[in-house]
Chain A
Amino acid sequence: MTSSAITARRRARSRRGGSHWWIHVVLGVGGFVMAFPFLWQIIMSLSTNAQVQSVTPTFWPGELQWQNYAQVFERLPFLSQLGTSVMVTVIRTLAQIVLCTLAGYAFARMRFRGRAVLLAIVLSILLVPSQVYLISQYQIVQGFGWLDTLMGIVAPGLFSAFGTFLMRTAFLNLPPELEEAARMDGANPFQTFWRIMLPLARPSISVLAITTVLWSWNELLWPLVVSTRAEDMPLAAGLATLSGDRTIDYPVLMAASLMAMAPVLIMFVVLQRRVIDGLASSGLK
């Protein structure tokens, strides 16, 4: 059979959708398992606290407690914290994009003394869990006078080893011939970087952006420790304050968490195409 005939047959098969039903079953079941805890969370957010903690689970609360959502706004300065989350995330993402692309390019394509060692040192910070940095970073931030400020929350997260690694890989996968050509035309390294390499690395930058946004949005311990004003905290930290001393108001916490998750989820749904395409040609492989 010729290759085109095979392709034609395959396409015909998928049009008929014949052999595909089992794929849908598998993906459907898998997707359900992935999504189930969120469904449960939604149900919890519409129940009363007693129902959430009842010894035989309450599958359906009967009376939907919509006021839990309203309560979120009463208990938390939700919008203010949302604003902080957005600011922190945007600043960090932009900073990481700038710093990591610059450094990644240098590590990938430029020669300088000690390059390998410096790269190893930078990447080594990934080997240490974040809790180890807590007190030291706190003291450093305090030394700068950034306690209780946006800068304090943002600062350590401006620099990323993962991002550097990602961008370095991306640049490594671009053909060197382009740079040679640029150099022969007399461009200095920055011009080469800015005009030629950077645009080609756009897919990887999308990946970096997405991972930074998600990580930054959900970061909890550091902002909690570094800020003392509820309005200045990002959402994730603000949510945590809903866990009381001996009792947790589960429904309100769940409602708040769902609302906090919404912006990022919407962003992902909208940008899905971009993310996948970004990953596909990012040369991560």
Chain B
Amino acid sequence: MPATTPAKGRGRRRAILGAVAAIGAAVLLAGCSTSSGATGSGGGYEQAAKDTKATLTYAVWDENQVKAIKANLKGFNEEYPDITVNVDVTPFASYWTKLQTQGSSDTLPDLFWMNGPNFQLYAANGKLAPITGEVKAGAIDPAKYSSALNKLYTYDGTQYGVPKDFDTIGVWMNKALFAKAGVAMPAKDWTWDDFQKTGAELSQKLKGDGAYGAAGGMDGQTTYYDTIFQAGGSVVNGDGTKSMYDTAASEEGLQFWTDLIESGASPSIKQLTDTTADQWFTSGKLAMYQGGSWFRSALTGTDLEKDVVVYPLPKGKEQATVIHGVSNVVSANTKHKAAAQALQVYLAGKQAQQQQGDMGAVIPAYEGTQDAFTKTMPDADLQVFLDAVDYAKPLPVSKNTAAWNTLETNLLPSAFDGSTPVDQVAKELAQKMDAALAKEQ
């Protein structure tokens, strides 16, 4: 590299720079798309004719579910034989980067998976097509899905996503470890105190094996969101403008985990960052794992499967659990609106949902199709997850959930490991979170 010339700044050379840039600009202008604005349609819906021809792209992130999706598509093609659907699997970590890139140039897939934390971002920027038309025409019936989920995918009064599946949180118990420690299984209507005491006792008795009774961790959905709700608090207020972390109830919810770690019932936060709670459980080193219904697929086929039973979450001031689920959304700018909506409708229908449940990958959202799920592990009482829907609260989200999720990850560990008092951390977190929420408006 010639070290002598400070490149920019010499007159005639600018001409060359300009030429190169001009060539580039011309090329770019040929295809550059600009701002977004609300380009969403008015929610119109026309049932697609049965002989509609189209090729759709359906973007998903979970490779485990592809088999079930392909089965769904087979059924779909019986109704619409000329619509070809290409399933595009992108790993979760890169899914959102890809989606954002596509969103910036309005080349979003025709139909794609959406989750709670990212939903508002896309809805608010007019990237999604509402399902109002389909609901009006009776093709989709919101009453068949949990109201918490419907709410999660509603923005500004309009619902954009139709729920595809859901998950709730329960406690996975390892009966064998209980037996080893000589501790009796608690009652199913247990409270926070019961949980803490059992955890501590188990840890003490299992110390020799390097095992623990319970585990905290930084996965809010399975841990501290639930306890915050159970203490009567919440994470973010109704319209996503203010953080609720610095309320007494929320702080109580956080304190639960500090106490759990302090009493030795749970591994330390450092240990849990290195090895996540679910790994402790699958290695047989954790007796009680607070986890989601999705965890079932990690257990099938393992030795652990026969020792496992599910308990509802312990009760705090009230009983609560976090519910979340993926939804299917149609791109507002898709070139094949009718076809994409036809697919959306089909996947939300009873037949497709039943199929999803039977193939066991997830709990389908449609009312009454969840029986297959409970049958996959008949002795584990998976019904607990379904019953939990009654007292479930939706996952806390806002327009840019990821921004304050990062704040939680950065600030909460010092509260959990006891190095900073919980209320201090909560206050700081709330302040920073408010700043992030304010930026969204």
A279 lies within 8 A of chain B by Cβ: no
Which of A177-185, A223-231, A257-265 lies at the interface?
A223-231
Contact, CB under 8 Å: A55 / B285? yes
A120 lies within 8 A of chain B by Cβ: yes
CB-CB contacts below 8 Å: A35-78 with B: 48-50, 53-56, 75
A225-B2 contact in complex given A55-B283, A240-B94, C-beta closer than 8 Å: no
Which of B153-161, B176-184, B238-246, B274-282 lies at the interface?
B274-282
B20 lies within 8 A of chain A by Cβ: yes
Contacts of A225 in B (CB 8 A): 94, 97-98, 101-102
Contact, CB under 8 Å: B31 / A139? yes
Q: In the complex, what distance in Å separates the CA atom of A142 from the CA atom of B33?
A: 9
Name B63's contact: one of A134, A140, A228, A244 (CB within 8 Å): A244
CB-CB contacts below 8 Å: B108-128 with A: 109
A196 lies within 8 A of chain B by Cβ: no
Number of interface residues of A (CB under 8 A): 43
Contacts of A241 in B (CB 8 A): 63, 89-91
The residue on A at minimum CB distance from B62 is A245
Name A230's contact: one of B30, B88, B297 (CB within 8 Å): B88
Contacts of A142 in B (CB 8 A): 31, 33, 105, 107
Contact, CB under 8 Å: B91 / A243? yes
Contact, CB under 8 Å: B280 / A55? yes
Contacts of B7 in A (CB 8 A): 116-117, 120-121, 124
Contact, CB under 8 Å: B2 / A116? yes
Contact, CB under 8 Å: A123 / B12? no
Interface string of A218-247 (1 = CB under 8 A from B): 000100110011100000000011111111
Q: In the complex, what distance in Å separates the CA atom of A230 from the CA atom of B90?
A: 9
The residue on A at minimum CB distance from B267 is A55
Contact, CB under 8 Å: B93 / A243? yes
CB B222 to nearest CB in A, in angstroms, measures 10
The residue on A at minimum CB distance from B294 is A246
Contact, CB under 8 Å: A245 / B98? no
A138 lies within 8 A of chain B by Cβ: yes
B86 lies within 8 A of chain A by Cβ: yes
Contact, CB under 8 Å: A165 / B94? no
Contact, CB under 8 Å: A245 / B92? yes
A113 lies within 8 A of chain B by Cβ: yes
A175 lies within 8 A of chain B by Cβ: no
B61 lies within 8 A of chain A by Cβ: yes
Which of A118, A142, A145 has most B Cβ within 10 Å?
A142
CB-CB contacts below 8 Å: A75-121 with B: 75, 113-114, 116-121
Interface string of B2-40 (1 = CB under 8 A from A): 101101001011011100100000011011110000000
The residue on A at minimum CB distance from B98 is A225
A194 lies within 8 A of chain B by Cβ: no
A140-B109 contact in complex given A50-B302, A221-B94, A242-B63, C-beta closer than 8 Å: no
The residue on B at minimum CB distance from A246 is B294
Name A121's contact: one of B4, B20, B101 (CB within 8 Å): B20
Which of A123, A145, A165, A243 has most B Cβ within 10 Å?
A243
Contacts of B411 in A (CB 8 A): none
Contact, CB under 8 Å: A224 / B13? no
Q: In the complex, what distance in Å separates the CA atom of A223 from the CA atom of B62?
A: 18
Contact, CB under 8 Å: A117 / B91? no
Number of interface residues of B (CB under 8 A): 56
Contact, CB under 8 Å: B104 / A135? yes
A147 lies within 8 A of chain B by Cβ: yes
Q: In the complex, what distance in Å separates the CA atom of A119 from the CA atom of B5?
A: 10
Contact, CB under 8 Å: B89 / A54? no
Q: In the complex, what distance in Å separates the CA atom of A143 from the CA atom of B30?
A: 6
Name B282's contact: one of A53, A228, A246 (CB within 8 Å): A53
Contact, CB under 8 Å: B32 / A143? yes
Contact, CB under 8 Å: B91 / A120? no
A21 lies within 8 A of chain B by Cβ: no
CB B118 to nearest CB in A, in angstroms, measures 14
Q: In the complex, what distance in Å separates the CA atom of A246 from the CA atom of B32?
A: 36
CB B33 to nearest CB in A, in angstroms, measures 7
Contacts of B63 in A (CB 8 A): 75, 241-242, 244
The residue on B at minimum CB distance from A247 is B298
Contact, CB under 8 Å: A121 / B17? yes
Contacts of A139 in B (CB 8 A): 28, 31-33, 104-105
Contacts of A48 in B (CB 8 A): 302
Contacts of B279 in A (CB 8 A): 53, 55
B57 lies within 8 A of chain A by Cβ: yes
The residue on A at minimum CB distance from B109 is A228
Q: In the complex, what distance in Å separates the CA atom of A221 from the CA atom of B96?
A: 12
CB A212 to nearest CB in B, in angstroms, measures 20
The residue on A at minimum CB distance from B271 is A55
B64 lies within 8 A of chain A by Cβ: yes
Q: In the complex, what distance in Å separates the CA atom of A53 from the CA atom of B17?
A: 54
Which of B20, B100, B107 has most A Cβ within 10 Å?
B107
B1 lies within 8 A of chain A by Cβ: yes
CB B248 to nearest CB in A, in angstroms, measures 32
B347 lies within 8 A of chain A by Cβ: no
Contacts of B98 in A (CB 8 A): 224-225
The residue on B at minimum CB distance from A117 is B13
Which of A48, A55, A145 has most B Cβ within 10 Å?
A55
Q: In the complex, what distance in Å separates the CA atom of A120 from the CA atom of B92?
A: 39
A144 lies within 8 A of chain B by Cβ: yes
CB B70 to nearest CB in A, in angstroms, measures 12
Contact, CB under 8 Å: A138 / B5? no
Contacts of B292 in A (CB 8 A): 246
CB-CB contacts below 8 Å: A16-40 with B: none
Which of A48, A244, A245 has most B Cβ within 10 Å?
A245
Write 20 A-B pairs (CB below 8 A) sorted by A numbering: A49-B298, A50-B283, A55-B275, A55-B279, A55-B283, A113-B12, A116-B5, A117-B16, A134-B101, A135-B104, A140-B32, A142-B107, A147-B107, A225-B94, A230-B87, A241-B89, A245-B62, A245-B92, A246-B292, A247-B298
The 3 closest A-B pairs by CB, nearest first: A143-B31, A228-B88, A55-B283
Given contacts A121-B7, A138-B102, A241-B90, 18 further A-B contacts (CB under 8 A): A49-B298, A114-B12, A117-B13, A134-B101, A139-B32, A139-B105, A140-B31, A142-B105, A225-B102, A228-B59, A229-B86, A241-B89, A243-B92, A244-B62, A244-B92, A245-B294, A246-B292, A247-B64
